[in-house]
Amino acid sequence: MSQNSPLSLILVHSTAFYRSDSWNTLVILIFGIIFKAALLIQVLEAVQFRGEKMGYPVRYFSSQNYHELKKECIKDKKLFEDPEFPASDESLFYRTRPLQQIDWRRPGELCEDPHLFVDGISHHDLHQGKLGNCWFVAACSCLALRKTLWKKVIPNWRKQEWDTKHPNKYAGIFHFQFWSLGEWVDVVIDDRLPCVDGNLIYCHSNVKNEFWTALLEKAYAKLSDSYEALDGGNTADAIVDFTGAVAESFDLTEGHYRSNLIEQARLFEGIYKVYTRGGLISCYIKPSSISDMETVTPTGLVKGHAYSVTKVKKVVLGEKTLCFGKTSKLFMVRMRNPWGSREWRGAWSDESQEWKRVSKSEKEALGLTVRNDGEFWMTFEDWCTNFTHADVCRMINTSSLSFHKTWEKEEVRGSWTKNPEPLLNRSGGCFNNKITFFQNPQYVFDVSKEEEEVLISLQQKDQRVRKKEGKGDNFIIGFEILKVELNRQYRIHKLHGQERAASTQYMNLRSMFLRKILKKGRYVIIPTTFHHGIISEFILRLFTDEPSHFRELLHDKPTVTCWTFLQGYPQTVAQVFVRSVEGIQRSENSGEGDLYLIIKCERESVRSAVCKKTNNAVFDIRAIFYQKNISETIKVQVWESHIMCDQFLGQVLLATSPNDPKEELSLQLHGKDGQEAKKMPGQINLKVVSSNDLLEL
């Protein structure tokens, strides 16, 4: 440790304290520690800022480098004009042409003192224009709530801001960053914005000289190939593109959230935790038909319209006192309509009588405003009753320097591809496609704890850019999770005893999410499209408590190497399934022990988990072996766990053959080391399946 480091200086001062009896020295010591701690915090924050700035790679969209382009424009004393997203009709629409003449203007032509931000950034800044992208505007409202998030989307915003003192440094160029299938993409735009009669026609701020909303929308439109491509969408998708969060969708009409108060409270606590830990939430009412779209309910809510949740709060009712007082808490959410008007008219609306139950200080803390600005409060019960769907976007914590739960994150970018050769095809469709299902990509991971909660997110490539081709809809996707052999190293080809541990619904959403508690063992995730033969990219993300050794299964069977000639190549494949052991006795004395299994084949062995304090243990484990010497038997041994030395309790020897019966067998345990004929107490229940075709299992 350096002698001049903050920590060493603190230690020096601490030593000085023990040598001094003066209170003055103590005061100096305390202030010295505080000062040096503050310096240390500043250093750590600087390091953290540098890490955030340099900690992730960024890909330039259309190979456009913002800094080089801006430098070139300043040198040539010209304003940037983007050739990749020109100020023309092709950037506006691909199908619906506007009735009015569109005029492209720069912010300086719309007002005298343009700025990215005026008095900071706020979720109140946004107002939806003449484009049906309320979902995008709602996502922007959510983004504006989190400074750490929008600073990533709008990088180095101070350097992009208009500088009135140095107008010659302005080049009419901006850039924004979006998360796309696991990587951050930097999108460059010019500042020419579509207008009619001198007014912005799309997303705009409630302050005339503030332009971050319009410019962000343009960058997102460029990423999607046109403004019209933003007409209709999912708020969660935009939030994920802003943050890299994991999206989970809830159908509030299911799950008893409306009728069961316990389930409702559990949902609130989950959403409250997501919100307090930096997550973003949105919701909508699903219309019953196309004609029902954007109709208004008796309580003022708009169907088929995206709302952003701007606060989740436990509101205190009644006056607080120091010691006593009758107070209670009410679960509430604050919503915002992207239109900037038309609010909820039910209980706890802006001017409702219910607010008399809340103290003045609590109202001030909530920031309650009584004006038609599109923002309003609702009880969580009314929220569940009136809205049909909610999208919860989690910022999953993977930092080891955190007080909250830390997740181990693994992710892989893959694709569904077609190939006429079955072993090379990677687009097999869902489980209904029995013949082709296992042709999909396969990924293996381990659960090392007795039980572990896992989070899995599958996201397909955004199809929005294909709208010009008359396509653009999401594919129907989902995934299956199979519990497989403990030593599975190669792809599955047929379902032979592997357990379907979990699966998602198949829906035409851009991403599918699953939260599941899995028991200890090895699992394979198979991401699929519903129909076989679909071509698309995807990203698969896995979050676990412990490292999971997540990886793709690339090979169908053992590969031929330069050592194959000397060591031999497998002739058969055998799967051993051990369900249970019964009637085990310890040799020292009667009683129950801690049992485990070892399954051996040639030089490979598989060990089960320990079943504690039992003589009749259910294991339900599988192992798979590729046998080079078909005359060598497979051993299944039963052991008892001890602190000093484990005790052998018996074994069975299995000579496998493809012609052997496939049903479960109950076999007597025997001894070992030349005592195979000696019977041991207990029996083992198992099944063996083998084949000469290495692709059979």
Could you list the mean pLDDT of each consecutive 10-residue stretch along the chain, which spans 697 residues? 40 40 61 60 41 66 97 96 96 82 95 92 86 93 93 94 89 97 97 95 93 97 95 95 95 90 94 94 94 92 94 82 64 90 89 86 77 86 96 90 85 97 96 96 96 96 91 95 97 91 95 96 98 97 96 95 81 94 73 87 93 90 93 92 88 86 89 78 93 92
How far from chain centre, in Å, is Cα 164?
42
Q: Which fold has domain 567-691?
A: Immunoglobulin-like (2.60.40)
Calpha distance 93→90 (Å, rounded): 6
Can you name the residues that pair with 596 across neighbouring β-strands? 639
Buried b (16+ CB within 10 A) or exposed e, 600-617: bbeeeebbbbebeeebeb
Token pair of 132 as six digits: 């049906």
Query: Minimal CA–CA distance to 123: which of 350, 280, 265, 10?
Result: 280
pLDDT at 678: 86
Q: Any alpha helices (H) in 247-401, and if so which ranges?
A: 261-276, 360-366, 380-386
- 443-460 and 551-552 as β-strands: parallel, antiparallel, unpaired? antiparallel
Instruction: Look at domain 408-552 and name its CATH class.
Output: mainly beta
- List all residues 6 or more positions away from 336 whose beta carbon is below 8 Å from its beta carbon: 123, 124, 138, 141, 307, 308, 310, 374, 375
What does the DSSP assignment read for 185-244? EEEEEES-EEEETTEE-SSEESSTTB-HHHHHHHHHHHHTTSSGGGSS--HHHHHHHHH-
Provide the Cα torsion 603, 604, 608, 614; round to 10°.
Answer: -20
Which letter does DSSP use for residue 162 in this model? -
- List all residues 6 or more positions away from 471 whose beta carbon is below 8 Å from its beta carbon: 463
- Write the single-letter amino acid at 403: F
- Report the catalytic residues: 134, 305, 337
Beta carbons within 10 angstroms of residue 691's beta carbon: 17
Half-sphere exposure of 637 (CA within 13 A, CB side): 20
pLDDT at 526: 98
- List all residues 6 or more positions away from 218 whose beta carbon is below 8 Å from its beta carbon: 85, 189, 193, 227
Distances (CA, A) of 105 to 90, 133, 194, 570: 16, 21, 7, 71
Spatial contact of 426 and 535, defined as CB atoms under 8 Å apart: no
CA angle, residues 561, 567, 570, in degrees to nearest 5: 80
Calpha distance 350→347 (Å, rounded): 9
pLDDT at 28: 64
Dihedral sign of CA atoms 2, 6, 9, 14 in order: negative
pLDDT at 362: 83
Calpha distance 645→189 (Å, rounded): 70
Helix (H, G, I), strand (E, B) or coil at 267: helix
Which letter does DSSP use for residue 106 in this model? -
Question: What's the pTM value of the predicted model, to 2 decimals?
Answer: 0.86
Span between the terminal Cα atoms of the chain, in Å? 57
Can you name the residues that pair with 521 across neighbouring β-strands? 447
Spatial contact of 464 and 233, defined as CB atoms under 8 Å apart: yes
Q: 6-18 and 23-54 are packed helices; what angle lies between their axes, rounded to 10 degrees? A: 170
CATH superfamily of this structure's domain 247-394: Cysteine proteinases (3.90.70.10)
Spatial contact of 378 and 332, defined as CB atoms under 8 Å apart: yes
- 183-190 and 58-60 as β-strands: parallel, antiparallel, unpaired? parallel
Spatial contact of 134 and 306, defined as CB atoms under 8 Å apart: yes
Which letter does DSSP use for residue 507 in this model? B
What does the DSSP assignment read for 306-328? -EEEEEEEEEEEB---SS----E
Phi, psi of 343 (to 5 degrees): -115, 170
In terms of Cβ atoms closer than 10 Å to its own Cβ (0-12, 13-18, 19+), residue 532 is buried
Phi, psi of 593 (to 5 degrees): -125, 180
Calpha distance 213→203 (Å, rounded): 6
Phi, psi of 189 (to 5 degrees): -140, 160
Token pair of 232 as six digits: 């209709």
